[in-house]
Amino acid sequence: MFDFRKFAYAGVTVALTATLAVTGLTHADAAQAPAPAVAAPPVITATVPMAHLSKLMEFAAASSNTRVIGSAGFTATVSYLQAQLAGLGWTTTVQNFTVRGKKAANVVAEWPYGDAGHVVMAGAHSDSVAAGPGINDDGSGVAALLANAAAITQSNLRPAKRIRFGFWGAEEQGDVGSSYYVSHLAGGEAAKIDAYLNFDMVGNKVENGKAVGWSLYAEGQSNGLNAPFQSYFAAQGITVNPSLDTDDRSDHAAFKNAGVDVTGVSSVRSLNELGACYHKACDNLTDVDQNSMVLASNAIANAVWSLAG
């Protein structure tokens, strides 16, 4: 998260068990059922994102405690993302690229319903630093988005707008994956993205007696994208910082520079309070709070359901 280098360089398949189901429907059942009138997203429990985080930790543990690009841990993460999303009925694309001779990749997934001329996009980065497994930074964002992909599938959602999720490689090398994606969009495609929502570190825990510091990106104040997140957190009785200044140090920057309206959510108060295990070997499952994962997953659902119509 918030890589302090602001420049950008322009297989394992695992099926999760039925405990990941958000509703009682299987994917096959949902595909055959008539589209329901969905007034609100389903509630996502901690079981769903935490199961994904456990898999990411397994990949890191088998790869010298890291999921940095070029490692077996990162390769396994990419394969896992592709398998999970394809299994949920999302149209998936893998973009391969290299950074200083190391292999990296983006996984882009689209729910194949809604107006393709109006896209609501959300993203998180799938890599870690070399020093640790990156379970909060940013396995937490990845897991929350995967939980939302399952919720959308099993609700058989038919939104007015197209929903697209991006899982970016090489964020820790300077937001490379998201920059690669935006720079390789066909002419006019960036203009079709109505909103990009970024989720980088959403699993922080209470440290030194301080409550988790939920924040919304400053950009969302002026473009209105913070509104559904503010509504969700207010309903939970949580006060958020509405103007986190990220200094463009995460994957929203590439979209913002392309003229796309952006915002994001993080469980940190500021760039000076990123957590004791930030970019360290101890950024493992013990560095993530289950309640934070529930809040993040459901805040994302609230916003995506609302913005996609």
**195 sits in which H/E element:** strand 193-199
Write out the DSSP string of 87-136.
HTT-EEEEEEEEETTEEEEEEEEEES-SEEEEEEEEEEE----TTS--II
Active site residue 171: yes
CA distance 39 to 15: 30
CA distance 177 to 81: 15
Tokens of residue 289, six digits: 């709070």
User: Could you give the 3-state DSSP secondary structure of residue 263?
Assistant: strand
Cα 233 to Cα 17, 39, 253: the distances in Å are 30, 19, 24
CA distance 135 to 128: 8
- Classify residue 33 as left (phi > 0), alpha (psi -120 to 50) or beta: beta
End-to-end CA distance of the chain: give it in Å, rounded: 29
Q: Which residues pair with residue 216 across a beta bridge?
A: 265
Q: Which amino acid is at 22?
A: V
- Point out the catalytic residue in the list 110, 171, 172, 219: 171
| Torsion from C-alpha of 80, 82, 84, 87, nearest 10 degrees | -140
Q: Which residues are catalytic?
A: 171
